[in-house]
Amino acid sequence: MKVTTPQMGNLHFMLDDLFGRLGVDYIRPPASSTRTLQIGAQHSPEFACLPLKINIGNFIEAMEAGADTLIMAGGHGPCRFGYYGIVEERILRDLGYDFKFMMLEPFNDGAWAFYKTFEALSPGLSIRKLWKMLKVSFSKARAFDRLYKRALQLRAYEVNLGDTSRTLRQAEEILSRPRTPEEIEAAAAEAMTVIEAVEQDPGREVMRVGIVGEFYLLLEPFSNFGLEETLGHMDVYLERSVWVTDWIAPNRDNIIYGYPKKDIEKKAEPFLDQNVGGEGRETIGSIVMFAERGFDGIIQLLPFGCMPENIATSIIPRVQQEHDIPVLTLAFDEQTGRAGVITRVEAFLDLLAARRRSKAGALRA
């Protein structure tokens, strides 16, 4: 059995570790690329979300590399994500691929079903042993999230362009090796020391921008043309509202983001007081939080046609007005071009700079 999953941000570090503990061969799909998207778009419904198309491409490329067992996360609610697995399996079987397909439903939807998925991969696995494995692998994934979050903050201040990204690769290598909880803790500290050593210009004037939106577009750099790195190189200090371990944690305490889901939803209540699926309500609440913290602006990322984020988009103008915060909405599909996205981002940053100068002038007056 050779298992694979779709590519999504730094999730593969956790999966590499977890499947290794389970004694299962894990084939990581090649990094998502133009070829991945072209393959997926060719075989997917035109109206399907961008993530589904990339997932199809990931699975096909992984099977080309020898994978024979495909695992896809399940879900529920208004967002179409819960249907991805069913649709993806049907598309791939219609194309003639031979594979075993497994749906991993959320832990909160039933701990027993969650356990049985892993037990099918590793016969004889006890619940206690699985829980211990998950805790260790999750701790490593959370350490990676902390590393990436710090890189987002530091990149805007780097003296030598690209130093943060180059050093981040070194830190990833340090953190990917350890196995025991003690080794992971020590490696996490070492990796953070490495990233903190990047030469900084703390006096540099930077823009502070919050990134919100649909989880896949925020977590998978290929889907947004590596926008975070580009913004960092434009002297933009970034924080985002979604992180891998926050997203998969059953209690949604959002340790990395720093604000529990219930607190974010509370901030959204005056504008959106019910669940609309996906991250729709969290997008609104996070915009309010970033505004209250004095951020210069917000960038919302979503797949074209994403219902929860489109609902949020329709509410954002009111949030902007009441909290005096500019928001740039960027929708992505296979037709989206990087040049157009960067042009809009540059114009948005010019707007933020003009607002800052205007406010400074008003204060001096």
Q: Name the pLDDT band for 81 (thresholds 50, 70, 90).
A: confident
For residue 302, the surrounding DSSP H or E stretch is strand 297-303
Residue 131 forms part of a structural domain = no
Q: What per-residue confidence (pLDDT) applies to 361? A: 77
Residue 49 forms part of a structural domain = yes
Cα radius of gyration (the chain)? 21
Helices vs strands, H then E, count in the chain:
15, 8
- Boundary of a domain, candidates 152, 172, 203: 203
Q: Name the pLDDT band for 163 (thresholds 50, 70, 90).
A: very high
The reply to whether 360 and 237 lie within a common domain is yes
Residue 136 forms part of a structural domain = no
- Boundary of a domain, candidates 99, 125, 151: 125
Q: What per-residue confidence (pLDDT) applies to 171? A: 97
Q: Name the pLDDT band for 133 (thresholds 50, 70, 90).
A: very high
Q: What is the mean pLDDT of the segment spanning 41-61?
A: 96
Q: Name the pLDDT band for 110 (thresholds 50, 70, 90).
A: confident
Q: What is the mean pLDDT of the segment spanning 1-28?
A: 95
CATH code of 83's domain: 3.40.50
Q: Does the pLDDT of residue 360 top 90, yes or no?
A: no
The reply to whether 252 and 358 lie within a common domain is yes
CA atoms of 265 and 4, how far apart (whole Å) = 34
Cα distances from 148 to residues 16, 32, 245, 291, 306, in angstroms, run 18, 19, 12, 23, 26
Q: Residue 178 belongs to what domain range?
A: 141-203
Residue 15 forms part of a structural domain = yes
The reply to whether 268 and 316 lie within a common domain is yes
Q: What per-residue confidence (pLDDT) applies to 351? A: 97
Q: What per-residue confidence (pLDDT) applies to 185? A: 96
pLDDT tens digit string along 171-230?
A: 999 999 998 999 999 999 999 999 999 999 999 999 999 999 999 999 999 999 999 999
Q: What per-residue confidence (pLDDT) applies to 6? A: 96
Residue 304 forms part of a structural domain = yes
The reply to whether 227 and 189 lie within a common domain is no
CATH code of 353's domain: 3.40.50.11900
Q: What is the mean pLDDT of the segment spanning 160-177?
A: 96
The reply to whether 224 and 119 lie within a common domain is no
The reply to whether 99 and 57 lie within a common domain is yes
Q: What per-residue confidence (pLDDT) applies to 365? A: 58
For residue 103, the surrounding DSSP H or E stretch is strand 100-104
Q: Does the pLDDT of residue 83 top 90, yes or no?
A: no
Environment class of 314 (CB within 10 Å of its CB; exposed 0-12, middle 13-18, buried 19+): exposed
Are the beta carbons of 302 and 331 closer than 8 angstroms? yes
**Count of the separate structural domains present in the chain:** 3
Q: What per-residue confidence (pLDDT) applies to 156? A: 97
**Full-model pTM:** 0.94
The reply to whether 222 and 365 lie within a common domain is yes
CA atoms of 119 and 136, how far apart (whole Å) = 18
Q: What per-residue confidence (pLDDT) applies to 364? A: 66
Q: 10-14, 74-78, 304-308 — which is least confidently predicted?
A: 74-78
Q: What per-residue confidence (pLDDT) applies to 363? A: 66
CA atoms of 303 and 47, how far apart (whole Å) = 11
The reply to whether 166 and 191 lie within a common domain is yes
Percent of the chain having pLDDT more than 90? 89
DSSP 177: S
Q: What per-residue confidence (pLDDT) applies to 79? A: 84
The mean of the pLDDT values for the chain is 95
Q: What is the mean pLDDT of the segment spanning 104-126?
A: 87
Q: What is the mean pLDDT of the segment spanning 56-66?
A: 98
Q: What is the mean pLDDT of the segment spanning 241-251?
A: 90
The reply to whether 255 and 356 lie within a common domain is yes
